[in-house]
Structures are given as C-alpha cells and as structure tokens.
Structure 1
C-alpha cells in the first residue's frame, strides 16, 4: 500500500488520561503549502512504539493512502492527488483527499 509521509507533532492526551492506546496529532503540508491536522490512534500513523506521551516530538510517520491521479501544476511540477480513505480525516472539513508532491509518498 502507498503511504503519505507526515509528522506527528504531539501526544494529544494528557499523561494522566487512562485511554489506551491514546491519540496523537499529525500534520501534513500539501503541495499547495496548506497545513492539515489529523488526530487518531498511533497505529493509524504507522509510528508503532515510537508514539507515546513521553516521546520527543516531532516524529516522522505515515498515513496509508490511495493514489487517485497525477497531474502537473502551472509551473510543471507533478502533483499527486491521494485519498486517505476516511481514516484519518483532516480536522478541518473532514477532508480525505489531498494534493501532495511525489516525494511525500512511499510507494511499494
């Protein structure tokens, strides 16, 4: 499966919370320079045991995605439209499709 490179920026629950496995905040900057924020459980982001309340953030993580199309922007740079399939959704507008740069993808 193709994955999208992102960055976990913080543990989203306080250390005193008894909620396993917890939630993390993840940021993605798209091909247009817009930043998107996601919140979900660590396994969704492929961070494994590296994502914890005591980890040193930021941490490189990934989100599974499907490539929908490849186009070029007005400058001739390749833009790849991907879908996260609804897990996770961006916090603003429940967005699941994003335009990204090819170097943001990890392809099998």
Structure 2
C-alpha cells in the first residue's frame, strides 16, 4: 500500500435515513483501528449496488472509497493506514471528519 493509492473499506448499512426522494440516503457505521465507532451518511448508489429498502434487514456491506494519506504502526505492531474519504467521493462522517485510522487488513486495494 502506498500513500496516494485509492482503497475501499466496508461499512455496515444500519438504516435508511431518507427514502422520500431518489436516491435514498443511508446511515453507515464502521469501527476504526482504535475501536472508535463512526457514523457516515451517504446516497445509496455511491456506496452500494444493492437495492436497500427502508426497514431492513441490512445484510450487505457498503463500500467506501478513500485515499491513503499516511501509514503508521500501532503500539501492538499492527499496521494502521490513515485514509481520507473526501477523495474521491467527498464522503465525511456526520461531524465532518474525513480522516480515519484503519487497520491495513480491512482495506481493499483498487486495481
């Protein structure tokens, strides 16, 4: 993995926030390398090809694109990758955060 490389990571679809217009908006959740839970809100077609209906159940995972901006080693030796979700799709968490520390094993490299 290289700085500047595009990757994807999974987030759990937790609910449909708004289905009153197209496209539906989804709430997505994931846990970072430090055990912190994060909440994202994004349009369904940006993060999944699946047809997500209000009320669930939500068994599929969403795919979040991001760019690698840094690499670190955790105190326990695990490789951590800092990603920026502002590129390429302009995704942030509900507070506006776009940088997240993720375990390298949780990332999927783009070809």
State the TM bucket, normalised to the shorter chain.
0.7 to 0.9
Deviations 1:9-45 (A, max 9, x none): 11112xxx53111100000100000011011101221
TM-score (norm 2): 0.83
Contact kept, 8 Å, 2:32 with 2:103, in 1: the verdict is: yes
Deviations 1:65-106 (A, max 9, x none): 0011111011111110000016221113x1000000112211
User: Residue 22 of structure 1 aligns with which residue?
Assistant: 24
More strand by percentage: 2
Q: Stretches of 4+ moved more than 4 A in 1?
A: none
**Matched residue pairs, number?**
103
TM-score (norm 1): 0.85
* Mapping for residues 16-95 of structure 1, pairs under 5 Å: 17-45=19-47, 47-53=48-54, 55-85=56-86, 87-92=90-95, 94-95=96-97
RMSD (CA atoms): 1.6
Q: How far off its partner does 1:54 sit? A: 5.2
